[in-house]
Amino acid sequence: MATTTARPAALDGSEDGRGLLTRDDRARLYRYMLLMRATEERALTLYRQGKVPGSYYDGHGQEAVSVGSAYALGPRDRACVLHRDLGAHLIRGVRPGRVLAQMMGRATGITGGRDGNMHFGDRHLGCVGMVSMLPDMALVACGLGLAFQIRREPRVAMTWFGEGSTANGVWHEAMNVAGIRRLPVVFVLENNQFAYSTPNDHEFAVDPVERAAGYGFPGIKVDGNDVEAVFSAAAAACERARTGGGPTLIECDTMRMHGHGAHDDMRYVPPELLEHWAARDPVEAYEARLAAAGIDTAAIQADVRAELERDTEWALQQPMPDPPTATDGVFAEVAEPLGDGEAPWSRWSPDREATHA
Amino acid sequence: MATTTARPAALDGSEDGRGLLTRDDRARLYRYMLLMRATEERALTLYRQGKVPGSYYDGHGQEAVSVGSAYALGPRDRACVLHRDLGAHLIRGVRPGRVLAQMMGRATGITGGRDGNMHFGDRHLGCVGMVSMLPDMALVACGLGLAFQIRREPRVAMTWFGEGSTANGVWHEAMNVAGIRRLPVVFVLENNQFAYSTPNDHEFAVDPVERAAGYGFPGIKVDGNDVEAVFSAAAAACERARTGGGPTLIECDTMRMHGHGAHDDMRYVPPELLEHWAARDPVEAYEARLAAAGIDTAAIQADVRAELERDTEWALQQPMPDPPTATDGVFAEVAEPLGDGEAPWSRWSPDREATHA
Amino acid sequence: MPELTYLQAISDALREEMRADERVFCLGEDIGRFGGAFKVTDGFIEEFGPDRVWDTPLAESAIVGTAVGAAVEGLRPVCEMQFADFISCGFDQLVNVAAKMHYRQGLAVPITVRLPSGGGFSGGPFHSQNPEAWMLQAPGLKVVAPSTPRDAKGLLAAAIQDPNPVVYLEHKHLYRRTKGEVPEGRYELPLGEARIAREGTDLSVIAYGAMVGVALEATEDLDGASVEVLDLRSLVPLDTDAILGSVRKTSKVVILHEATRSCGVGAEVAALIAENAFEDLDGPIVRVTAPDVPIPFSPPLERAVLPQVDNVKEACRELLAY
Amino acid sequence: MPELTYLQAISDALREEMRADERVFCLGEDIGRFGGAFKVTDGFIEEFGPDRVWDTPLAESAIVGTAVGAAVEGLRPVCEMQFADFISCGFDQLVNVAAKMHYRQGLAVPITVRLPSGGGFSGGPFHSQNPEAWMLQAPGLKVVAPSTPRDAKGLLAAAIQDPNPVVYLEHKHLYRRTKGEVPEGRYELPLGEARIAREGTDLSVIAYGAMVGVALEATEDLDGASVEVLDLRSLVPLDTDAILGSVRKTSKVVILHEATRSCGVGAEVAALIAENAFEDLDGPIVRVTAPDVPIPFSPPLERAVLPQVDNVKEACRELLAY
Ligand SMILES: Cc1ncc(C[n+]2csc(CCOP(=O)(O)OP(=O)(O)O)c2C)c(N)n1
Ligand SMILES: Cc1ncc(C[n+]2csc(CCOP(=O)(O)OP(=O)(O)O)c2C)c(N)n1
Ligand SMILES: [Mg+2]
Ligand SMILES: [Mg+2]
A141-193 pLDDT per residue, tens: 999 999 999 999 999 999 999 999 999 999 999 999 999 999 999 999 999 99
- Determine contact: A81 vs chain C, CB below 8 A: no
- Given this model, what pLDDT does residue A354 score? 45
- Helix, strand or coil for residue A57? coil
- Determine contact: B337 vs chain D, CB below 8 A: yes
Residue B256 CA, ligand 4 centroid: distance in Å: 7
**Mean pLDDT score across all residues of chain C:** 98
| Site from D176, D301, D305 to mutate, A interface, most A CB atoms within 10 angstroms | D301
**Mean pLDDT score across all residues of chain B:** 94
Interface TM-score (ipTM) > 0.90: yes
- Given this model, what pLDDT does residue A10 score? 38
Whole-angstrom CA distances from D153 to D15, D215, D234, D320 are 10, 22, 14, 35
By CB atoms closer than 10 A (0-12, 13-18, 19+), residue B25 is buried
Residue of C nearest to D270 (CA): C271
The pLDDT tens digits of the residues spanning B16-32 come to 566 799 999 999 999 99
For the domain made up of D3-181, the CATH class stated in words is alpha beta
CB proximity under 8 Å: A 144-203 to C = 144-150, 157, 169-170, 173-174, 176-177, 180
- Given this model, what pLDDT does residue C1 score? 86
- Given this model, what pLDDT does residue B294 score? 97
**Mean pLDDT score across all residues of chain D:** 98
- Given this model, what pLDDT does residue B352 score? 59
User: Which residues of chain B are modeled with pLDDT < 70?
Assistant: 1-18, 351-357
Task: Kindly write down the DSSP assignment for every residue of C198-225, as one continuous string.
Answer: E--SSEEEEE-THHHHHHHHHHTTSTT-
- Given this model, what pLDDT does residue D1 score? 86
Neighbouring C-beta atoms of residue A334, cutoff 10 Å: 7
Chains touching B (3+ CB pairs < 8 Å): A, C, D
Q: Please compute the mean of the pLDDT values over residues A12-21 and round it to a whole number.
A: 62
- Given this model, what pLDDT does residue B17 score? 60
Q: Please compute the mean of the pLDDT values over residues A91-105 and round it to a whole number.
A: 98
The pLDDT tens digits of the residues spanning D208-248 come to 999 999 999 999 999 999 999 999 999 999 999 999 999 99
Q: Could you tell me how far CA B142 lies from the centroid of its own chain?
A: 17
Q: Which residues place a Cβ less than 5 A from the ion ligand 3?
A: A 162-164, 192, 195
User: Which residues of chain C are modeled with pLDDT < 70?
Assistant: none
Side-chain half-sphere exposure of D254, counting CA atoms within 13 A: 29
**Dist. CA B112–CA B326, nearest whole Å:** 10
Interchain contact, B170 vs A169, CB within 8 Å? yes
The pLDDT tens digits of the residues spanning A64-82 come to 999 999 999 999 999 999 9
For chain D, the domains span 3-181, 195-320
Whole-angstrom CA distances from D99 to A23, A225, A346, B257 are 61, 47, 57, 34
Strands of C81-165 (E only): list them: 112-117, 142-144
Of 3.30.1200.10, 3.40.630.20, 3.30.365.10, 3.40.50.970, the CATH number of A4-332 is 3.40.50.970
- Helix, strand or coil for residue C39? coil
pLDDT at D302 over 90: yes
Q: Please compute the mean of the pLDDT values over residues A195-213 and round it to a whole number.
A: 97
CA neighbor of A343 nearest in space, from A21, A71, A129, A69: A71
Bond from prior residue into B321 cis (ω within 30 degrees of 0): no
> What's the pTM value of the predicted model, to 2 decimals?
0.97
C70 phi and psi, to 5 degrees? -65, -35
- Given this model, what pLDDT does residue A352 score? 59
CB proximity under 8 Å: C 87-116 to A = 92-93, 96-97, 100-110
- In percent, the amount of chain C with pLDDT more than 90 equals 100
Binding pocket residue ranges, ligand 1, CB within 6 Å: A 84, 132-134, 161-165, 168, 190, 192, 194-196, 256; D 29, 58, 60, 82, 86, 89
Confidence of residue A16 (pLDDT cuts 50, 70, 90): low
Query: H or E element: which one contains C243?
Result: helix C240-250
Query: Which are the contacts of C284, defined by CB distance < 8 A and separation ≥ 6?
Result: C319, C322, D274, D275, D276, D278, D279
The pLDDT tens digits of the residues spanning D175-202 come to 999 999 999 999 999 999 999 999 999 9
Neighbouring C-beta atoms of residue D43, cutoff 10 Å: 12
Q: Please compute the mean of the pLDDT values over residues A232-254 and round it to a whole number.
A: 98
Catalytic residue among D127, D171, D173, D257: D127
Query: Which are the contacts of B195, defined by CB distance < 8 A and separation ≥ 6?
Result: B162, B163, B164, B165, B167, B203, C29, C57, C58
Q: Are D3-181 and D195-320 the same fold in CATH?
A: yes
- Given this model, what pLDDT does residue B132 score? 98
- Given this model, what pLDDT does residue B170 score? 98
By CB atoms closer than 10 A (0-12, 13-18, 19+), residue C127 is buried
- Given this model, what pLDDT does residue A282 score? 98
- Given this model, what pLDDT does residue B9 score? 36
How do beta strands C142-144 and C166-171 pair?
parallel
For domain C195-320, which architecture applies?
A: 3-Layer(aba) Sandwich (3.40)
- Given this model, what pLDDT does residue D271 score? 98
Q: Please compute the mean of the pLDDT values over residues D25-33 and round it to a whole number.
A: 98
**Dist. CA C239–CA D94, nearest whole Å:** 32
Q: Is position D127 annotated as part of the catalytic site?
A: yes
For chain A, the domains span 4-332
**Dist. CA A188–CA A26, nearest whole Å:** 21
Task: Kindly write down the DSSP assignment for every residue of A337-356, as one continuous string.
Answer: ---PPP--SGGG-TTHHHHT
How would you classify residue C153: left for phi > 0, otherwise alpha for psi between -120 and 50, otherwise beta?
Answer: alpha
